[in-house]
Amino acid sequence: MLPSTTFASFFLVLILCFNGVSSSSTPTKIGHGYRLISIEETPDGGILGHLQVKQKNNIYGPDIPLLQLFVKHETQDRLRIHITDAEKKRWEVPYDLLPREQPPALKQTIGRSRKNFITVQEFSGSELIFSYKADPFGFAVKRKSNGQTLFNTSSDESDPFGEMVFKDQYLEISTKLPKDASLYGLGENTQPHGIKLYPGDPYTLYTTDISAINLNADLYGSHPVYMDLRNVNGQPSAHSVLLLNSNGMDVFYRGTSLTYKIIGGVLDLYFFAGPSPLAVVDQYTALIGRPAPMPYWALGFHQCRWGYHNLSVVEDVVENYKKAQIPLDVIWNDDDHMDVHKDFTLNPTNYPRPKLLAFLEKIHNIGMKYIVIIDPGIGVNSTYGVYQRGVANDVFIKYHGKPFLAQVWPGAVNFPDFLNPKTVEWWGDEIRRFHELVPVDGLWIDMNEASNFCYGLCTIPEGKQCPSGTGPGWICCLDCKNITATKWDDPPYKINASGIQAPIGYKTIATSAVHYNGVLEYDAHSLYGFSQSIATHKALQGLEGKRPFILSRSTFVGSGKYVAYWTGDNKGTWEDLRYSISTMLNFGIFGVPMVGSDICGFYPAPTEELCNRWIEVGAFYPFSRDHANYYSPRQELYQWESVAESARNALGMRYKLLPYLYTLNYEAHMSGAPIARPLFFSFPNYTVCYGLSTQFLLGSSLMVSPVLEQGKSQVKALFPPGSWYSVFDTTQTITSKGGQYVTLDAPLHVVNVHLYQNSILPMQQGGLISKQARTTPFSLIVTFPAGASNGEAKGNLYLDNDELPEMKLGSGYSTYIDFYASVSQGTVKVWSKVQEGKFALDNGWIIEEITVLGLEGSGQPSALEVNGNSIDGASNIGLNSLEQKYHEDIEVGDTKKSVMVEVNGLDIPIGKDFSMSWKMEISR
C-alpha cells in the first residue's frame, strides 16, 4: 500500500536539526582497538578468548573495556565468530526467533592466560581457517583449499579504516577486499547500478517505510549478508558473510574494503565457504531456515488493486480476465474490504458477507483463490472487538507503561508486540475468527516495518475527528511532540536512515518504546515484520493444517522460511522495471526466493508500451502479481488489447512452465536454491556475466532476456558459452562460442526465453487456472549441444498434494522423477527414474510428447522403441524431425547442422520408470 513517507519526505528536512554528529563527519579511525589477553579451547571444539581495550576514548560513547571472543567451526563449511561484552549480557537477535547454537555463557572472572602468544595463531576447519593477531587484535578468515583471504580486519596505516571498535551504541569492524571481488547483497535497497554492490553507494540497513522508488536508501527489509564472488586465474569461488545483528547499521563499501558501523547489539559473524554460489545459499539457508514451500496456485498469476471499492468490481475483474483469456489464479483485496480500515473486518455495505461468501464459493469451485491485506496497527476503538481483546490480553508495545500510540489507516492505533507469547496466541485467535468470517486462502501483511504516519509521542486530539475522512489518509492528525531526551531516540551515531540521516524513530515506533521482557524497540525494530511473519505462519498453519501463503513487506534474515515477498511501492517507469530484476535476484540470495514486483508499477499510470513489456518480465517473476495504487488509473492486463495479447503470450508460457517452477519451489525448500538467479550462478567461470542485471535465469537453465527500454523492438542479450534454444520456437538455435552478445528480435508481444543445452524441461499444456493446467498431459523438451553426436541431458520433476504443510518425499502424497537423456553413436535414449510413484499414478498424469533438440545431422529418426517394445507404423505414436535454424548473428560456416525430433502421441504414465530410444540416420 502507498507509503506514508513517499509524500512526506520533504518534512524530514525540518527535523534534521536533531541529528548532531553525522556519519559523513565520522573520524576515519576511532581508537586503537583491543588486545587479546587470554585464549583457551572450549569443550565443544571452539576457542574462547578475552579482549581488553587498549586506549579508551569517548567518541560515540565510552568503550566497553572487556570483550568475549568465541570462534567455532559449526559445520565443515560454516565458521562463526561471536564478539560481545565479557561482563554484561547484550541484545542479540532472539534465539527463539532464529534458532541457532548459543555461544558460551559469560564468565564471572576473567584472568590473564599464562600462554605465550605468537604473532599469528591459526584455528583450522575443513574448509575455512581462522587466524588472529593478538595486539592490536585482528583476525582473518582464509579458504583452506587455495589460501585466499576472505576477510581480514587488521588495519594498516594506509587503510581507510581503523581497528575494531565496541561501544554500547557504536560497533565498527572492517575487512580488506581484493579490488576484483564482485559483491552482492546488503539489502534491502533499490540499486540503480544493478546487482553488484557499487563502491561509494550508501548501504544502510534499517526497516523503513519509504517507497522502493527511493534509490540507495534503507527500505522495508534488513539483510546484513553479502556474497563475494572471485575469479582468480580462471578459478571462480564464492563465499558469503552474515553479520547477524538487528540494530540499524551503515555499511561502507569502498571497492577494496568494507566497513560496518552498527548502533548496538553484538558482532556475530558467520562465514559460508561455498565455493559455488548455489552452495553458498545452501549453507546460508541451512542456518537461517529453508524457504517456505509454496502452494501450487501461488505460482499462478495474481491480480490486486488498492481501490476495488466494492465486491461487484472484484467480480467484474475476474470475469474480464476470463473473457480476455488471460490466466488468473488469485484475486486480492487491499483494505477496500475492511470496515473503515480495521483489520479482520468486512465493510457491510461494499463487501456484505453473504455476497462475498457466495463469490468465494464460486471461485473456489473452479480453483481460484482469494487473499486480503492485514496491517499490524490495531485501531484504538472501544467498540472494536479485536482491540478490546488486545487490551484484555495486554498485547501491545508500551511507552512509559501505556500502549504506544501511532496512526495508520484506521486512525489512532496500537501495535501488537509479536515478541510476546501472549500476542502470538491472540493474533492466532484473531486470524481464526476472521477465517470463520471469510475463508481467505492467504494473508498479506503490509506496513510492518512498522509504518507510522506520525512521529514522536502522540495523543488522540479532543474535539476533532482523526482522521477527518477527507484528504490523504496518510497525514498525521494526532497531537504529537518529539522525543529526543533518551539515548535510544537520539543515539550518538546517526545511521543514514531514509537516505537523509532521518531520526531513527521517524515515522515508526519510538525507539525508546518497550517490548515484552523489557526489550527496546531500538534493538528489535528491524525484527518487527519478521516476528509478525512467524506468528502469522503459525496461525494459518494451525487453522486447517494446510500449507500457508503469506506475503510480507518487511523482512529480515530468516523471513523466507515463512513468507513470500514483493518489492513494495514501485513506480510505473522503465527504470523501475529494470530495478525490479536486481531486487528479485538479491532476495534469492537472501533466502527469500518467492519474490516479485508490482507488475506495471504501483503508481502513477504506466504507459501501454511499458505495461506490455512489464508483463513480459513479470510473467517470469517467481511471484507474479499486478497491483496498483488507489489514485492510479486501472491497469489490469485486459485494459489494453495490446497488453492482453502480451499477457496471453507470456503468461501462457508461464502456465506451461508451472511444473518446472513448482519443482524449483521444491528445490528452494530443500536447499535454498533461488528460483530466479543471476547468470553467474550457472556460469561462474564466465566473468562477463558477473554484473549482468538485465537478464536472469529461472533455475539453472531457462534464461529470460526481456526488453527493458522504451521504443525498442530488439534486445541485445548475453549468451554464455553453449547452445540455447527458444522455448517459444524450438527450431530457433543460438550457439554461443566462448560467450557473446546477440541481437534478438522482440516485437511488442514477444519476450525471448531460451533453454540451455544438456537440460530436460518438463512442461504441461497450460490453462487459465493452475488447477486446470495441472490436469493436462506433460511434454519434455530435451536439449543437447547443437549438432552433438555425443551428449547427455538431465532434468527433474516434483509433484505433490500442495495443501499439505510439508513439502517432502515419503508421505505417499508426492512423487519425484529424474529424467535422463543421451545421444551416442547415432542412438538417442530418454529415460526416467521415479521415486514414490503412487501419487503421480493416482492422478493419472501422462507424458504425451518428447522433443529432442540439437541432434547431429539432417537425417530421419527410425527404430523407435518404448519400454523395450518396437513401435511400428500402425501405432498412434508419431516420429518427426525438423532442421533447426541458427540465429543470423551466429557464424554457421563451421557449425554442424542439427535437427529436432518430436515424438508425439505417447501415453507414458509419469509415475513409472520409462525408457525410449531411436536411431538417427546421420546425413551431413
Catalytic residues: 446, 449, 569
Nearest to 524 by CA among 93, 916, 137: 93
717: which DSSP letter?
Answer: E
Q: Are 306 and 335 in contact (CB under 8 A)?
A: yes
Q: 542-548, long-range: CB within 8 Å, 24+ apart, which pairs?
A: 542/428, 542/432, 543/431, 543/432, 543/435, 545/805, 546/295, 546/803, 546/804, 546/805, 547/293, 547/294, 547/295, 547/802, 547/803, 547/804, 547/805, 547/807, 548/292, 548/442, 548/805
Terminal Cα-to-Cα distance of the chain (whole angstroms) = 61
Residue 141: its H or E element: strand 137-143
Residue ranges of the alpha helices (H) in 475-573?
521-524, 528-544
Q: Is 496 helix (H, G, I), strand (E, B) or coil?
A: coil
Residue 542 grid coordinates: 494451525
Q: Are 554 and 221 in contact (CB under 8 A)?
A: yes
CA distances from 851 to 60, 730, 778, 900 (A): 66, 9, 11, 7
CB atoms within 10 A of CB 202: 17
Cell 533455475, residue located: 699
For residue 107, which phi and psi values (nearest 5 degrees)? -85, 145
The crossing angle, in degrees rounded to 10, of helices 608-618 and 574-589 is 20
Q: Which residues contact 682 (CB under 8 A, 6 or more apart)?
A: 697, 700, 701, 720, 756
621 vs 618: CA distance, rounded Å: 5
| Tally of residues, the chain | 924
Nearest to 261 by CA among 395, 398, 164, 396: 164
Say how far residue 131 (Cα) sits from the centre of its chain. Answer: 33
CA distances from 568 to 3, 142, 603 (A): 9, 38, 11
